[in-house]
Amino acid sequence: MNTLTIIETGQAPEGIRADWPSYPAMFETLLAPHLPGWTYQSVALSRGQTLPDPAGLDAILITGSPAGVYDDVPWMTSLMDFIRWAANAQVPQIGICFGHQAIAHALGAKVAKSDKGWGIGRHVYDVIAAPSWMRAPPPDTFSLGVSHQDQVLTLPPGALQVARSDFCEFAALAYPGANAISFQGHPEFSPGFSCALYGVRKGTRFSEDMVEDAEQSLQTPIDNDLVGAWMAQFLLRAGT
């Protein structure tokens, strides 16, 4: 039996936290239909829990976070070391949103706030490479809900650019030599949660018009289950 260790690097805003599952629970809901027999454990890194030895883990998933890779928070350096150790040990890793940026940064990319500003709502990505975990032939595009201003700005050494958009050039990456994949979008976020997240930030990070446009965009279906199936196939093909 394999276990996915979910590194929780953030929580939903306090105003909506009680109304929705935790981020690790969202990922378990997304992946469980595609990974029968797997178990899940979480490490609340952003709340003070200590990272385990990655060499003893079956697989790792790093969640989204309000933090940026450049932030001076107590756990950031240890997370970057953990990612590099896991890559050297060939432990399968998946990164989502902040996790996507963290893996890229740890493995040599530039990550920073984008001059394009915040991306929210439903974003559509062009598939430009088709690793085996995509179960060829993949669609030409896929869509996810997003909430990010930081972006991966350079391709990490040894990485493969899997998907892109005009807003986000490095929207999905694969690391054949490091046994890792990552996505900027949020396959674990339901449209309802995304809209709640945007709503609680209306008038601070996001204008009313931005939120209205984002909520309307999410009335069009998104590809959470497809991306969840890709993530599961990556784990199953990674020798875990």
Closest of 49, 62, 63, 56 to residue 11, by C-alpha: 63
Under the banding of pLDDT at 50, 70 and 90, the label for residue 240 is very low
Residue 188 class from Cβ within 10 Å (0-12 exposed, 13-18 middle, 19+ buried)? buried
Domain that holds residue 230: 3-237
* 3-54 confidence digits (pLDDT tens): 999 999 999 999 999 999 999 999 999 999 999 999 999 999 999 999 999 9
Q: What is the pLDDT of residue 239?
A: 54
Considering the chain, what is the average pLDDT of its residues? Answer: 96
Count of structural domains, the chain: 1
* pLDDT tops 50 at residue 113: yes
Question: Catalytic residue among 105, 123, 188, 195, which?
Answer: 188
What global pTM score does this model have? Answer: 0.97
Q: Is 195 a catalytic residue?
A: no
Q: Is 34 a catalytic residue?
A: no
Contacts of 207 (CB under 8 A, 6+ apart): none
Q: Read off the pLDDT of each residue in 65-70 and give the average, rounded to a whole number.
A: 97
Residue 11 class from Cβ within 10 Å (0-12 exposed, 13-18 middle, 19+ buried)? middle
Backbone angles phi, psi at 16, to 5 degrees: -125, 0
Beta strands (DSSP E) in the chain are 3-7, 39-43, 59-62, 93-96, 111-113, 119-127, 141-148, 150-152, 160-164, 172-175, 180-183
Question: Catalytic residue among 8, 28, 97, 168, which?
Answer: 97
Q: What is the pLDDT of residue 135?
A: 82
Question: Catalytic residue among 100, 105, 123, 186, which?
Answer: 186
CATH number where 186 lies: 3.40.50.880
